[in-house]
Amino acid sequence: MPATPHLLPRRPSRSLLLALVAALLLLSATTTITAPAAAAGEPARTSGRQGALPTAALTEVANFGTNPSNLRMYLYVPESVTAKPAIVVAMHWCTGSGPDMYNGTEYDTLADRYGFIVLYPSVTRGSKCFDVSSPQALRRGGGSDPVGIKSMIDWTTRTYGADPGRIFATGISSGAMMTNVLLGDYPDVFAAGAAFSGVPFGCFATTDGSEWNSACSGGTVIRTPKAWGDLVRGAYPGYTGPRPRMQIWHGTQDDVLRHPNFGEQIKQWTDVQGVSRTPAATDTPQSGWTRTRYGGTGDRAPVEAVSLQGVGHNLYAPGMASRVLTFFGLDASGPAPQPQPGACRVTASVNAWSTGLTASVTLTNTGTTAVDGWKLGFALPAGQAITGGWGATYAPTSGSVTATNAPYNGIIAPGASVSIGYQASHTGNSATPAAFTLNGTACAAG
């Protein structure tokens, strides 16, 4: 059945919204975020056909595909959409909706400027919270909200010829938790995510049908980085491709999803990315903010985290969406720049036998400046575990592995190469890793 669009009225002026936000925040005393939003009117029914939705207006799309939890889909398409546009999935807080997220954030006006499409999923269950706790939600294709959101993305990609390599997720509170879940369930779909006041993937897991996990919200669920990373890897067993980058925002005085969840997310996503938990860069982009970057020092580091001193759960403010776009790489006219693999090239080969293998890896610096100290990240195929190696130290021994230079080969001149290798056991899959990163930057293969 073709998708059916319903046009929504344009939201009130931004100044009116901000005045309303101030009043709402003063009145808020609940355990869910009172987000910066204004209620939107009910959609006026209009006719439409797939691929011919109105532009520069929030439009509801029905019959978009598999939707086990009865989500509603709202879409914003700018008048000047780029060829092969990016998609930003923007998700609301508990008690909110897709139109509230549209009204309370600037993603649509930024889409007007940069030509991407914004998708606003909307929960219909009574709590208006996304399902981030059920077993179905925490595995790829398991059902519930993630499957419906994936259907929305597929519909939008087909209809507008969107770039499948530039799909992003962001959210506030419950939407931030769903951002973590989506990046875990569908690492092959999302390029990056940005979570405002969220918790790690799997932290809110329950088996009793409850939507709330008090231990997680209270910041008392503490795990090792590998344990957190294993929860993400377990959502899509056997996946060995690149993982989405993650940007994390949290207030130190958050009394709904307490601040320890900020550090636990850092532990989780640095492990998933296979990068050091020692910040590669630390700065203060704004008074009271501490920003740390892991695995890289630039705007598109594998993991970026911003802690806001003295700020509570309702931390989202105008201007933050622009910082999200910088992290996503969408703050430029036309198609955004893609990760540049030209600084390095990796070739890998395997000699395998019944239960073991030896892998040989050659890393070449194809850039114009010397590499002084390197970390080579890669994901071991499922069932493999490193038992020994040379030319580098390897940790951990399975999953997302980081090979760190030895004292004698840390400098790689332009055009030069270094050869390393490892032995590993396997349970039947003796393939080489599918992708490599050098200090957080993707490398070309072959």
Amino acid found at 142: G
Question: In 3-state terms, what secondary structure has residue 77?
Answer: coil
What are the phi and psi torsion angles at 270 (to 5°)? -70, -35
Q: Which two structure tokens, joined as six digits, stand for 84?
A: 């092969």
Q: What is the distance between the alpha carbons of residues 360 and 364, in angstroms, rounded to a whole number?
A: 13
Structural contact between residues 262 and 307, judged by C-beta atoms closer than 8 angstroms: yes
Contact 90, 96 (CB under 8 A): no
What are the phi and psi torsion angles at 85 (to 5°)?
-70, 155
Active site residue 173: yes
Among 133, 173, 217, 430, which one carries the catalytic annotation? Answer: 173
d(CA 220, CA 258): 9
Instruction: List, in order, residues 6 or more apart from 366 with CB less than 8 Å away.
Output: 342, 343, 344, 345, 414, 415, 444
Instruction: Tell me the pairing of strands 167-172 and 385-390.
Output: unpaired
Cα–Cα distance list, 433 to 142, 176, 323, 348 (Å): 26, 30, 33, 8
CB 374 within 8 A of CB 363: yes
Give Cα 212 distance to the centre of its chain: 22
Helix (H, G, I), strand (E, B) or coil at 405: strand
DSSP label at residue 127: T
Q: Is there a contact between 32 and 256 (Cβ–Cβ < 8 Å)?
A: yes
Backbone angles phi, psi at 186, to 5 degrees: -130, 65
Count Cβ neighbours within 10 Å for each residue of 381-404 and write b for 16 or more, e otherwise.
bbebebeebebbebebbbbbbbbe
Query: Closest by alpha carbon to 86, among 160, 179, 1?
Result: 160
Which of the residues are catalytic? 173
